[in-house]
Amino acid sequence: MSSTGVAATAAAPELAGHVQAVKFDADTGRLDVAPDAPAYGTKLRWSTPKLIAAANEQVADVNVRTLRVLPPAPVQTGPAAAAAGPDPQPAAPAAPVERRTPPAGYLRAL
């Protein structure tokens, strides 16, 4: 998988460190990749033909035919990343959200 990551970095250097190859199915030629943010998932989808060509060029034994972009997940780069705990949950807002009274025209329309 690491040589596939090298191919992705060569084809689209802006993806380096933001995308992780998760699984390769040799029977179907499908490479599953997980970006660390939705924006990188979009960039992956736009760059799919270029990335497939680069992967097939870099790795002789592999015939990647499709690229499946998985939902965003934190990219783990090594043992230190694996040892890190899960991301903390965002805190709830301190004060309740105040709702405004709808305009009279909206109420008449209802």
**Segment of 62-71, 78-87, 94-103 carrying the highest mean pLDDT:** 62-71
Assess whether pLDDT exceeds 80 at residue 70: yes
Q: Which fold has domain 2-74?
A: GMP Synthetase; Chain A, domain 3 (3.30.300)
Q: How confident is the model at residue 68 (pLDDT cuts 50, 70, 90)?
A: very high
The full set of domain ranges for the chain reads 2-74
What distance separates the 2 farthest-apart alpha carbons in the chain?
69
48-58 vs 2-11: helix crossing angle, rounded to 10: 130
Q: Report the predicted TM-score, pTM, of the whole model to 2 decimal places.
A: 0.58
Side-by-side strand order, sheet with 66-69: 19-25, 30-35, 66-69
Q: What is the pLDDT of residues 84-103, one digit of tens each?
A: 555 555 666 566 767 788 88
